[in-house]
Each structure stands twice: as C-alpha cells, then as structure tokens.
Amino acid sequence: MPLMGLDRFVNISGSKSILLPLLLGRMVLLQPDPFLNELTSMFEKSTEKGSVWVTLKRSSLKSKVQRNKMKTTGQSIEYRCLVRATDGKKTISTSVGMKDHQRFQSSYATILKAHMTTLKKRERKDKKKAAEAEKKAASSKKKL
C-alpha cells in the first residue's frame, strides 16, 4: 500500500519485525491478527499500572494529495476502519475493511471481555455475596 510521505512515520511489517520500529518510536502497521495478539499483550502488561487506549477511525490510508487526484479522475476511494492501540509507550495499528470487519470485531470483543475485569459488577445482586465474603474473611483472619 503506497503511503506517500508517511513512510517515515509508519512501518508496515509482520508480527516478527516490529521491535526496531517500536524502539524508534514509530507507529507499527500490522495485519489484523498480529495486531490482536499485540493488543492482548498490551492489556496483560498494563494490569498493575498504565492504561490502554484504542482508537477507531474511518480512513482511506491515502494522503490528501492522492485523494484529491482520485476524486478528479473519478476513481472511487476505498475506505477502511483504522484501529490504533497504545499503552503510552508503543503504538500499533491495523486497518480493517468491509470483508473482515465482522470477524475482527468479534475477536476484539472477546479480548476486551477477557481483560476488562476490574470494572464493578452490579451492587444489588452482589451485596449479599459481598457481605458473606467479608464475614468469611474476617473469621479466617481471626483464626490466623
């Protein structure tokens, strides 16, 4: 995919060779599956401190100049969904088109479900359970 003038900032690569561009602080453009793997590792690394940001944006991945040229010649511009993820240190990205977006979104949803575990559950149902758990913890502490 030609990236006019943006080659300095983006490295297109497979999953193995992302170390060097990451060290150089560049955005790494991956295929959807390696991206999901990297995203999983980002979530796993930032459990004790740090955040994970994920951004979705519609993009054709072409520069303004290219887009204007395509408009004047009457070519249709193919848009994709650009997904970026960062943990504050490194940034990874992927683009998802019409054909593979449903498969991607279900894998993505699975990853989020698996890692967003510290959000609070509904209090109403768990109040009794929490009270019981506290009693048990208190009694076990006394025994020790």
Q: Which residues contact 60 (CB under 8 A, 6 or more apart)?
A: 67, 77, 78, 79, 80
Q: Does 66 bind other proteins (CB under 8 A)?
A: no
Residue with tokens 């009693």: 135
112 contributes a contact to other proteins by CB under 8 A? yes
CB nearer to other proteins: pick between 17 and 59: 59
Short-list 60, 84, 85, 58, CA closest to 71: 60
Residue 73 touching other proteins (CB under 8 A): no
Q: Among residues 58 and 143, whose Cβ is nearest to other proteins?
A: 58
Positions in the binding site for other proteins (CB under 8 A): 43, 46-58, 79-82, 96-98, 101-102, 104-105, 108-109, 112-113, 115-122
